[in-house]
A and B are shown apart, each in its own frame.
Chain A
Amino acid sequence: MRRSTNTVVTHKVVTHKVVTHKVVTHKVLALGFIAVSSLTQLAGNQLMAQEEPFQTVITPAFSPVTWERLVNASDEPDNWLMYSGTLDSQRYSKLNQVNKDNVSELELQWAYQIPVIDRAETVPLVVDGIMFITEAPSNVVAVDARTGGIYWRYDHVLPDDLRICCGRNNRGVAILGETLFMSTLDAHLVALDARTGNLLWNKEVADYKQGYSKTEAPLIVKDLVVTGIAGGEFGIRGFIDAYDPATGDLVWRTYTIPGPGEPGNETWSGDSWKTGGAATWITGSYDPELNLVYWGTGNPGPDWNGDVRLGDNLYSDSVMALDGDTGKLAWHFQFTPHDVHDYDAIQIPILADITYEGSERKVMMWANRNGFYYTLDRETGKFLVGKPYATQTWAEGLDVNGRPIRVPGMEPTYEGILVSPPIVGGTNWYSPGYSQDTGYFYVTAFDGEQEFFKRDEEFEVGARYTGGGGRYTQPMDAFHSSIRAIDPVTADIVWEFPIQPRSSAGITTTAGGLVFTGSADGFFFALDASTGEELWHKSLGARVHAAPMTFAVDDKQYVTVAAGNVVYTFALRE
């Protein structure tokens, strides 16, 4: 297996070397056509060919990415080895060359233009100087991380009758050994050779014609590729899968909606469990010590009409903790029982060990689309503390178990009813961040409201099954968003930085004391992680709809973010 072969090679050996090449220059060709007749006479003569030395910097073929490297990814901050940076998904980098004192000197190094126009939601990976960028609809390009120069690209062939909810997106790849793994919009999982882009295998995860699709970056868990599914607006039944990286064979599948006879199935009236959604369209996290995979689940379907699916609708809008080897459910925590507002728990679980009420606790931090922030014990799923972090009107608060206490009469109606957060949520899939230096959790928060409608719909395979929808009653410019820093011990907001009016950017923190993020009005910016003070901003001219990431090559730190259809890379002025 890849795991064993790779242990021999330590990645630190492979740094950029200056190599001298011998180049053969055929000077005779410059003499033109007349010279051809004399070629034979010149054979053996020094004029025929002349050696000229020249120098080039060779980016090495990267060393294979072992599981050990992934577990210890935070110790090699030069690389960004998975979607959320590390298995705990903190998005905290130990790099500090760019820091509070010099971040204002960041300047553009290169830009990569994605050829297919859509919103770029990609978080690139960087492995030993090579960057892997995913593009809409389901393509990958490998570039030199210092220059943006292309090594190879993979264009995935898609059918033309896709069922996709919300845009042709792909958020990134996972890497193990020398293989990349990518979700595709036709609900396949593909494996690509990281050195060439060659397709190694192409596995159908589910039938796209039934409304399934895939957009999220897979997560490597030991020797498995763990991955989720999208399609919560099409009456699918969600699941989390694990595949053999060598063959693409399914190793385990855990449905997010229990089948008949399984505990939790009784939380769905009638046959509604069959079409209950609970998709898993964003990447989860993993704790190697506990051997638990944590994954968020999406809304129950139909989204806005709960009449046809009475009950709590487990395990929709939940975090599920699964055994890393078997996929067996260890515990779950449901943020929004019987959701009727599309408050997906499609957020990335951030794992950290913190001091809580005097003792060291393994916790999980979660700012949910429903407007509440939660700190959970990740060994047991026990609720520790939670409070609203964004405007919300649907719940009076959380009870001692973290279950929401609902405000009566906030369900969608045929006529429409105004509720906060709006459908897009207090936050959404945008990656939150955590700083090991400040101990704060950072989230992109939206204070908005929307009118929610209910409709009666019959389920049809492959068709949308949402039971309603929403509309804004004010222009978007009337609303505000903020980057909010939350203390996970108290769930209190420590500081906030206002954004006008929206952001769907993720957050990355660094040992340089920085929080990097972006905004819908096209800014990429850095805040002081302790105070929220703005330290640097740059207009990239189009919406930042992805999370930034940072890496280093040859001891030079870079910061990369996608905006519009472009991937921008910055570094300090030299």
Chain B
Amino acid sequence: MGLNSTTRWKWLLASATLAVVLSGSFSEIPFGFLSGTIIGTLIGTPANAEDGGNLYNTELDVTQGRSYFERQCSRCHGFDATGNDETGAPDLTGRLNRASTDVGIFDILRNGIAGTAMLPVSATLPDTQIWQLVAYINSLSADPANIQLPGNAVAGMELFTGKGDCDSCHMISGKGGRLGSDLSFVGDRRDPEELVSDLITPTKDVEPRWWRLRITGRDGTVREGFRMNESSFSVRIMDTDENLWSYATNQIETYERVTDSTMPSFAQTLTDSEVDDLVAYLFSLRKEI
């Protein structure tokens, strides 16, 4: 079954780099406040710590960072760091919008983001702990550079428009259909395991945007479409002919939600290796940093 491939890529996650191995011992040193110059010299990275990236990312550092996060950050960002609509705090488990490097994350933690509710960490918090927090945030999303997948991305690209017929509903870089999500940068928000799940069990955890609303007008006409927006007083849908409709809820008879997916499962129609190929292709679709 295709599900086998969900675990296959995992062991291929690259193991610790040299810097990671070294930092395991550094984090034991009281204060952990070694200057970048010393560390940089020791491990032969650039002298500037900022250029050296995070030197505190052992499993222990990640655990420490997580513990700090749960205590200090989860009120806004959620206990699982997936963000919170209430507070406006973003999901931190995928690609970050405001930082693309460890130093960028560090700076946000140290300084906050002016003009937003994102406050800096306590001024007395040692840099070490901030780096541990960076390590935890990094651990929430796999570094694509460390992931090697069994599938062939080029073969996957052919499947996307060929046997899989994915492009009849999904768009990539402006080409394809409108009846599914835009996959141009899907590799930034879905990891390989999730992509396999999306292909095999698409009805699980459908995003609210892809729920459907079945709207019955006062004259009995029924119109169904993807749930583009559902507010307290109105709804907006796109039907399968790609027409956009907006209704005031006090002017329709009733409407209901359909929360499963219109996407078929590929468990029977694609082989395991084809699923792997498709996942390799989809995961390669990321924004260039």
Contacts and interface: CB of A to CB of B under 8 A. Distances in A.
Contacts of A469: 70, 74-75, 78-79
Contacts of B259: 478
Interface string A497-526: 011101010000000000000011111010
Nearest to B233: A537
B268 interface: no
Interface string A110-122: 0000001110000
A391 to B, nearest CB: 17
A161 B122 contact: yes
A483 to B, nearest CB: 10
Contact of B117 (A167, A424, A464, A523): A167
Contacts of B79: 451, 453, 468-471
Interface stretch (B1-9, B55-63, B80-88): B80-88
B221 interface: no
A364 B5 CA distance: 61
Interface in A439-475: 451, 453, 455, 457, 462-464, 466, 468-472, 475
A534 B78 contact: no
B218 interface: no
A298 B208 CA distance: 34
A471 B82 contact: yes
Contacts of B122: 161, 462-463
B115 A500 contact: no
A477 interface: yes
A292 interface: no
Interface in B128-150: none
A168 interface: yes
Interface in B229-279: 230-233, 250, 259
A166 interface: yes
B100 interface: no
Contacts of B72: 463-464
B119 interface: yes
Contact of B230 (A161, A453, A466, A477): A477
Given A471-B82, A475-B207, A475-B208, A499 B116 contact: no
Given A466-B71, A469-B75, A523 B82 contact: no
Contact of B70 (A164, A455, A475, A519): A455
Contacts, number: 85
B18 interface: no
B123 interface: yes
Contacts of A58: none
Contacts of B71: 455, 457, 463-464, 466
B248 to A, nearest CB: 9
A162 interface: yes
Given A424-B86, A471-B80, A118 B231 contact: no
A165 interface: yes
Contacts of A162: 119
A164 B119 contact: yes
A463 B211 CA distance: 42
A475 B208 CA distance: 7
B116 A500 contact: no
A476 interface: yes
A498 B232 contact: yes
Given A161-B122, A502-B86, A472 B78 contact: yes
Contacts of A478: 208, 259
Interface residues of B, number: 31
A318 to B, nearest CB: 23
B115 A117 contact: yes
A476 B85 contact: yes
A500 B119 contact: no
Given A166-B75, A470-B79, A500 B230 contact: yes
A329 B230 CA distance: 48
Nearest to A117: B115
Contacts of B87: 166-167
A233 interface: yes
B116 A521 contact: no
A523 B208 contact: no
* Chain A interface SS verdict (over half): loop
A166 B119 CA distance: 11
A497 to B, nearest CB: 9
Contact of B75 (A165, A457, A500, A519): A165
Contacts of B250: 534
Interface string A163-179: 01111100000000000
B115 A523 contact: no
A521 B231 contact: yes
A534 B248 CA distance: 12
A441 to B, nearest CB: 21
Question: Which of A499, A504, A537 is most buried by chain B, counting CB atoms within 10 A of its CB?
Answer: A537
A472 B119 CA distance: 23
Contacts of B230: 477, 500
Interface string B64-75: 000100111011
A562 to B, nearest CB: 16
Question: Which of A469, A499, A521 is most buried by chain B, counting CB atoms within 10 A of its CB?
Answer: A469
B232 A523 contact: yes
A168 B115 CA distance: 11
B78 A471 contact: yes
Question: Which of B70, B72, B80, B86 is most buried by chain A, counting CB atoms within 10 A of its CB?
Answer: B86
A154 B243 CA distance: 51
Given A165-B75, A476-B85, A521 B117 contact: no
Given A167-B117, A471-B82, A534-B250, A521 B75 contact: no
A125 to B, nearest CB: 26
Contacts of A502: 85-86
A468 B72 CA distance: 10
Nearest to B82: A471
Contacts of B74: 469
Contact of A161 (B80, B117, B123): B123
A523 B79 CA distance: 29
A491 B71 CA distance: 37
Contacts of A462: 122
A563 to B, nearest CB: 13
Contacts of A523: 231-233
Contacts of B231: 500, 519, 521-523, 539
A466 B67 CA distance: 12
A168 B208 contact: no
A164 B259 CA distance: 38
Interface string A515-554: 0000111110100000000100101000000000000000
A47 B70 CA distance: 77
Contacts of A534: 233, 250
Nearest to B206: A475
B71 to A, nearest CB: 5
Interface string A200-241: 000000000000000000000000000000000100000000
5 contacts: A166-B76, A464-B72, A472-B78, A475-B207, A502-B85
Given A470-B78, A475-B208, A499-B232, 10 more contacts: A160-B120, A167-B87, A453-B70, A455-B70, A463-B71, A469-B78, A469-B79, A470-B79, A500-B231, A523-B232
Interface of B: 67, 70-72, 74-76, 78-80, 82, 84-87, 115-117, 119-120, 122-123, 207-208, 211, 230-233, 250, 259
Interface of A: 116-118, 160-162, 164-168, 233, 424, 451, 453, 455, 457, 462-464, 466, 468-472, 475-478, 498-500, 502, 504, 519-523, 525, 534, 537, 539
Nearest first, the 3 closest Cβ-Cβ pairs linking A and B are: A477-B208, A469-B79, A471-B79
